Structure 1
Amino acid sequence: MLEFIRCALEAEGVAHARPPQWEVGDDWYVTARPAMDGLRIAEKSIELLCAPGLHSPTTAYARALNQAVWQERDEGSLAERLEPFKAKFLAVARRSLT
């Protein structure tokens, strides 16, 4: 679970650093691609190793991060769009530890 959290925070940083225009191979992409690959692997480890109740919020948060990194930005702040997914994941993760 800690690896997923680390990867999610890295993906958030990549999303915040996303330039208005980017291309495969540019500096931002060279950072973004491995960060998102790591997130996907960490997401799958949650699915494999953690309680089933954690799967859905983990997947939802990972998908929101994926969209934040690769899709065009909408109105509103990135933090506001990610916060509900992040909060849900963290709440369920905390409960799973007790």
Structure 2
Amino acid sequence: MPAPLDGAGILVCPAEPAPTLRALPRHVARPHGTCGVRARRRCLANPSSAGAPAGYDRGMQVQMWASVASLIGVGLGGGLSYLAQLTTQRQVLRSEDRRQAGELAEARRAEQLTLLRTFVETAQRAERTAEDRAATAAWKAVAKDVMDDLWIHERMVHMLFGPQLHERARTYVEALNDVMWQEPVDDTVWDRLRAPKVAFLDAAHSALR
């Protein structure tokens, strides 16, 4: 059958019908490695689901948390070690301070005992000198020397002891000085010195407790 012509005498080819697209049944599997539109979107949104195994992310998270825990452990261990060293150092310093304080106290007590012994010995020499009174130049020289030593010891008592003992020591030295240069009239040297001497010795005993 000849092809039809249009009004201008031009040959008109009949239009071929468009091919009909058939949707594959759901039970028909698509070729391996292909994704539908929705599946492709899911692949782009979550690349790990496209080909990486499901346990890969979990393994990475476990490794990350293990590293963090290790760093935290190292930090805590270092902090605890520093605190232990600091505590030990403080204890050593405190022990050293106590030891030095104890040594200083012992040295101070020994110095105080030496001073008291020297004071008592000098006071005893002053008593004997006052009892052996003589109107001679030699006696006056001895009396002056012993009283000078006694006044020096009295000032040392003021430096190494409290004001209470120093007051007793000064009263005792003043009494010795009086009987040294002024002979008692109504009583003896011992009677004049008994009260201040006993008061000084009692105060010295209390100061050494």
TM-score by length of 2: 0.43
Indicate which of 7, 14, 18 corresponds to 2:129.
14
Matched, 1:31 2:146: no
2:194 matches 1:83? yes
2:23 — aligned with what?
none
Cα distance in 1 for partners of 2:207, 2:197 equals: 15
CA distance in 2, matches of 1:76, 1:65: 14
Deviation string 1:16-68 (CA, Å, 9 cap, x unpaired) is 1112xx25xx1211211110100010111001111221011100000000001
Q: Secondary structure at the match of 2:196?
A: helix
After the TM superposition, which parts of structure 1 deviate over 6 Å for at least 4 consecutive aligned residues? none
In structure 2, the residue corresponding to 1:63 is in which secondary structure?
helix
Which one has a bigger Cα radius of gyration? 2
Shift of 1:12: 0.6
Matched, 1:4 2:119: yes
Q: State the match for 1:70 in structure 2.
A: 181
Percent of aligned positions with the same letter in both sequences?
33
Q: Distance in 1 between matches of 2:184 and 2:192?
A: 10
TM-score (norm 1): 0.89
Aligned equivalents of 2:175, 2:142: Cα separation in 1? 18
Report the counterpart of residue 206 of structure 2 in structure 1. Answer: 95
**5+ residue gaps in structure 2?**
1-115
